[in-house]
């Protein structure tokens, strides 16, 4: 959908002529272009069309006899507006007085005190005195609207923001207003707790102290805290955040609105998992294995041990990086292995690496879509990914595009996604069939009937379904954004994706292109700075390519590789084929781990452990999937260790890598300041040339907007039909995996999120469940040889013959299953320990209806049928 054409008009505001875009809401135009504040409560532009509910924004417009709401009035050429007349002041004072009739005098104890819009507006526009002496209403407080959010009902001014957000933005439809008129109150539809991936956003939306964070409640006052801007490194979305800091501790995470990145929203994982930063389980000093046990050690001893192991390994050393690894850390670590040790065995993702020409072509600036394109493109195609789990705020952006701008969504995946209900067309292929689907889609778009049938069969679908899907894709318009995940890039999938982009002419269409969802938060940045087996910084050619993740595991297990450096990576939890990695790490002569907690990997296999920084402690840069280089800013100091080991405590990881390089005599890989490392990165990557930390600032820079690199253009590749999927028996199912949003070690360590920690579920179709006598919630086992337990979840949208289990979780992880064909058996009735949340019901007060009791009710799943 093309961006709206901006036409400038002139209107008069309090006697001054103002020029602003035609159709802009008066409140926004007055504030942005007229430097005049019009007070609002209910208005929030991110929520969509205004409702004019609170009447706080009343203004006088010449030619209209009655006062008008500034939040719902678009400006027009020649309009004359008055905001400072006596008539306007009287109306605004009356509205404030009305709101304060029953609003409690909680300011001294209210968490919102000092940063409350109602306070500010009362001082600026209120009457200053009250004519009411009657007692105010009182309710039981606080009520747990959810395990994360407390609600003080008597403070609510019925602005509708939270309800509108639930229904119009997140589209979870859980919040409603019960009763009518003065008896209205915010509640959930059925009394269940408000549990949703984005529920915490209503805390920031609330203009009073009615909705507060239970994790932050009574932890600090506004004058006790400092705000520190940085970037959340919890997932690929890289949302801009402001950390609330008191006494070197993070107490709260707020959104830092960036329309090009996050649109001002946060997911609950990013908002509440900050508690892991200060968890008691954090490693705060180096550890070195002596015998069978890890023991605290000085930094000097740990660095000497790591350097000695790397020197002995030489070109048989390898490194894996992920998590919150910055561009600077990846650049130094890859330089250490490649330049000093002669090893290019570097991996960042769970899958294999595409050929270098494909990697370069996929990064072609002409093919790069942006996050706003998800909202304005004619069509968005999702390929084997679900943004709700991998980049949550993208889910909201796509919903916004469909809802506001008529963006057409088409989804092709093995597992149903949360966006299926918004999609104009969906297509299911078998688990592992993404490569076959992309080859088949390319054949359908090019009219190659010869390849279409075979590739469709290899994907586990049929030619007719692929052709209909291709027609739906073409029919949406020329602006197409293709969002694809790492799991889709197998075999010839990368070349097929480039072919599809060529058939759709995406390189020559504005607001269109490709947008990758890497498996790690800084996946794109790690590749661009050269942390890859097949290329150097800036996708440069290297003389001796190395091994990817799977080959590193094999090399360690066979003895061909000796030492591995795990940088913010836990392969036993996050990589496929855990048995292979257990063997690899058990056989490796030395395992060097950079980790923040004692995971199974660290406890059982690490020989040297460097304590990892949390993202609020980091200084450096990371690269967004659309090419925007963003800056991590240090908000708190590094924690100190409790032991008496001299010099212990967490250090900057760029410094740790530099110290190891110095111990190895690699002077070129050392640095004395983080800014120096950043400068080296910008110089080494051609398309980062000219960037500076000051230039990146708090908003980031997309390198495609000021630099480029040449990609050799070629005709579409000639693709072969992928190999057929392995055959399965009559009682067997094809295994697919997915990574839940909550499958993260920081969630495991955050007390506020314990209720929603990811547990193993086994998702299957109703037909397959009925054939096996399995009911919703039954305990089942899945596997073929190795088995894992889980809770059955029956989903109507899953095609018969497929089953899906969760990966990346702490217990009963799917990565222990090494076969793509499995069996599922019922082992017991529904679990009695299903996740449940006690929540207080609201007592009937002054004739108001009672909120339905909800103590102990299970969390309703977000089902897609």
CATH code, domain with 87:
3.10.20.740
Residue 786 lies in a domain: yes
Residue 479 domain boundaries = 356-517
Residue finishing a domain among 483, 517, 551: 517
Structure pTM? 0.93
Residue 843 lies in a domain: no
- Count how many domains the chain has: 5
Q: Per residue in 125-153, pLDDT tens?
A: 999 888 888 888 888 888 999 999 999 99
Helices in 381-484 by DSSP H: which ranges? 387-390, 392-405, 434-446, 449-458, 463-475
Collapsing DSSP states into helix, strand and coil, what is residue 707? Answer: coil
Residue 205 lies in a domain: yes
Write the CA distances from 798 to 427, 732, 762, 776, integer angstroms. 11, 15, 12, 14
Same domain, residue pair 512 and 453 = yes
Residue 107 lies in a domain: no
Collapsing DSSP states into helix, strand and coil, what is residue 559? Answer: coil
What pLDDT is attached to residue 856? 30
What pLDDT is attached to residue 645? 65
Same domain, residue pair 340 and 372 = no
Same domain, residue pair 457 and 536 = no
As a whole number of Å, the end-to-end CA separation of the chain is: 28
Residue finishing a domain among 705, 723, 755: 705
CB-based contacts of 543, cutoff 8 Å, min separation 6: none
Residue 484 lies in a domain: yes
DSSP string for residues in 128-143: SS----SPPP-----E
CATH of the domain at 543: 3.40.50.740
CATH of the domain at 790: 2.40.40.20
Residue 320 lies in a domain: yes
DSSP string for residues in 513-555: EEEEE-SSTTHHHHHHTT-SSS--GGG---SS----HHHHHHH
What pLDDT is attached to residue 861? 38
Q: How many CA atoms lie within 13 A of 402 on its CB side?
A: 22
Same domain, residue pair 304 and 255 = no
Same domain, residue pair 360 and 337 = no
What pLDDT is attached to residue 845? 30
Nearest to 373 by CA among 473, 480, 523: 480
Q: What is the DSSP letter of 45?
A: G
**DSSP β-bridge partners for residue 591:** 564
Residue 614, both tokens: 């949390």
Same domain, residue pair 263 and 298 = no
What pLDDT is attached to residue 373? 96
Distance CA 616, CA 282 (A): 14
Same domain, residue pair 461 and 507 = yes
Q: Per residue in 817-864, pLDDT tens?
A: 988 999 999 998 875 443 434 333 333 333 323 333 332 333 333 333
Same domain, residue pair 224 and 340 = no
In this structure, the number of other CB atoms found within 10 A of the CB of residue 754 comes to 12
Same domain, residue pair 433 and 572 = no
Same domain, residue pair 665 and 573 = yes
Residue 112 lies in a domain: no
φ, ψ for residue 80 (rounded to 5)? -115, 120
In this structure, the number of other CB atoms found within 10 A of the CB of residue 634 comes to 17
DSSP string for residues in 249-292: EEEEEEE---TTTTTT---HHHHHGGGGGG-TTB--S-EEEETT
- Could you write out the three-class secondary structure of 799-851? CCCEEEEECCCCCCCHHHCCCCEEEEEEEEEECCCCCECCCCCCCCCCCCCCC
Distance CA 452, CA 446 (A): 10
Same domain, residue pair 467 and 560 = no
Helices in 46-159 by DSSP H: which ranges? 86-99, 117-125
Distance CA 210, CA 489 (A): 47
CATH of the domain at 243: 3.30.70.20
What pLDDT is attached to residue 849? 30
Q: Which residues of the chain have pLDDT under 70?
A: 1-4, 643-647, 831-865
Distance CA 324, CA 307 (A): 23
Residue 160 lies in a domain: yes
Q: What is the DSSP letter of 780?
A: E
Same domain, residue pair 513 and 529 = no
């Amino acid at each position: 959908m093309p961006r709206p054409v901006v036409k400038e008009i002139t209107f008069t505001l309090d006697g001054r002529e103002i020029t602003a875009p035609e159709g802009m809401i008066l409140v926004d135009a007055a504030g942005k272009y007229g430097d005049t504040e019009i007070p609002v409560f209910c208005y929030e532009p991110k929520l969509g069309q205004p409702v004019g509910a609170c009447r706080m924004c009343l203004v006088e417009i010449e030619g209209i006899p009655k006062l008008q709401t500034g939040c719902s009035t678009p400006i027009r050429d020649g309009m004359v507006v008055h905001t400072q007349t006596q008539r306007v002041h009287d109306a605004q004072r009356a509205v404030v007085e009305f709101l304060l009739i029953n609003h409690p005098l909680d300011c001294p104890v209210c968490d919102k005190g000092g940063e409350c819009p109602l306070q500010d507006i009362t001082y600026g526009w209120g009457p200053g005195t009250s004519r009411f002496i009657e007692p105010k209403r009182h309710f039981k407080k606080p009520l747990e609207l959810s395990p994360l959010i407390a609600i003080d009902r008597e403070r609510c001014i019925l602005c509708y923001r939270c309800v509108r957000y639930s229904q119009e933005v997140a589209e979870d439809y859980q919040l409603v207003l019960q009763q009518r008129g003065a008896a209205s109150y915010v509640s959930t539809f059925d009394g269940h707790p408000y549990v949703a991936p984005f529920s915490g956003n209503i805390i920031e939306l609330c203009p009073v102290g009615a909705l507060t964070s239970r994790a932050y409640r009574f932890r600090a006052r506004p004058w006790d805290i400092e705000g520190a801007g940085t970037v959340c490194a919890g997932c690929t979305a890289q949302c801009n955040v402001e950390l609330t800091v008191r006494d070197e501790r993070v107490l709260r995470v707020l959104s830092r609105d960036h329309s090009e990145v996050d649109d001002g929203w946060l997911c609950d994982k990013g908002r509440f998992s900050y508690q892991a930063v200060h968890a008691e389980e954090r490693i705060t000093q180096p550890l070195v294995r002596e015998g069978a046990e890890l023991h605290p050690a000085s930094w000097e001893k740990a660095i000497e041990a790591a350097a000695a192991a790397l020197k002995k390994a030489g070109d048989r050393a390898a490194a894996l990086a992920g998590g919150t690894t910055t561009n600077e850390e990846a650049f130094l670590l890859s330089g250490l292995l490649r330049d000093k040790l002669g090893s290019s065995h570097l991996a960042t993702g769970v899958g294999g690496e595409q050929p270098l020409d494909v990697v370069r072509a996929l990064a072609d600036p002409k093919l790069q879509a942006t996050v706003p394109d998800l909202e304005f493109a004619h069509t968005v195609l999702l390929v084997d990914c679900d943004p709700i789990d991998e980049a949550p705020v993208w889910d909201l952006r796509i919903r916004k595009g469909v809802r506001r701008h008529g963006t057409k969504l088409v989804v092709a995946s093995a597992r149903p996604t949360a966006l299926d209900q918004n999609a104009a067309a969906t297509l299911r292929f078998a688990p592992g069939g993404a490569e076959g689907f992309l080859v088949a889609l390319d054949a359908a778009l090019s009219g190659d009937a010869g390849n279409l049938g075979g590739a469709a069969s290899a994907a586990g679908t049929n030619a007719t379904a692929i052709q209909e899907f291709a027609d739906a894709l073409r029919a949406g318009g020329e602006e197409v954004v293709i969002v694809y995940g790492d799991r889709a890039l197998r075999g010839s999938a990368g070349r097929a994706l480039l072919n599809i982009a060529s058939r759709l002419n995406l390189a020559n269409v504005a607001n269109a292109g490709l947008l990758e969802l890497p498996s790690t938060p800084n996946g794109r940045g790690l590749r661009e700075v050269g942390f890859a087996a097949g290329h150097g910084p800036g996708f440069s050619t290297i003389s001796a390519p190395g091994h990817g993740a799977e080959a590193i595991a094999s090399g360690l297990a066979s003895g061909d590789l000796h030492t591995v450096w795990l940088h913010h990576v836990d392969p036993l939890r996050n990589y496929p084929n855990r048995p292979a990695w257990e063997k690899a790490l058990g056989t490796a002569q030395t395992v060097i781990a950079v980790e923040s907690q004692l995971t199974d990997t660290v406890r059982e296999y690490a020989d040297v452990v460097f304590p990892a920084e949390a993202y609020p402690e980091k200084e450096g840069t990371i690269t967004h999937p659309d090419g925007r280089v963003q800056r991590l800013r240090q908000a708190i100091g590094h924690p100190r260790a409790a032991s008496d080991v001299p010099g212990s405590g967490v250090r900057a990881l760029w410094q740790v890598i530099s110290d190891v390089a110095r111990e190895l005599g690699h002077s070129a890989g050392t640095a004395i300041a983080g800014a120096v490392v950043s400068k080296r990165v910008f110089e080494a990557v051609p398309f980062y040339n000219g960037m500076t930390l000051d230039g990146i600032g708090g908003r980031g820079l997309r390198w495609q907007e000021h630099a480029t690199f040449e990609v050799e253009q070629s005709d579409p590749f000639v693709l072969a039909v992928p190999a057929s999927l392995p055959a399965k028996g009559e009682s067997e199912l094809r295994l697919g995996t997915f990574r839940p949003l909550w499958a993260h070690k920081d969630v495991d360590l955050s007390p506020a999120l314990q209720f929603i920690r990811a547990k193993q579920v086994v998702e299957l179709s109703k037909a397959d469940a009925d054939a096996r006598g399995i009911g919703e919630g039954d305990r089942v086992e899945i596997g073929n040889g190795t088995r894992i337990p889980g809770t059955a979840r029956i989903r109507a949208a899953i095609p018969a013959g497929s089953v899906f289990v969760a990966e990346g979780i702490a217990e009963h992880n799917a990565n222990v299953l090494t076969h793509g064909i499995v069996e599922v058996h019922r082992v017991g009735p529904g679990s009695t320990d299903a996740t449940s949340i006690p929540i207080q019901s609201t007592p009937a007060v002054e004739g108001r209806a009672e909120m339905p009791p909800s103590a102990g009710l299970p969390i309703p799943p977000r089902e897609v049928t």
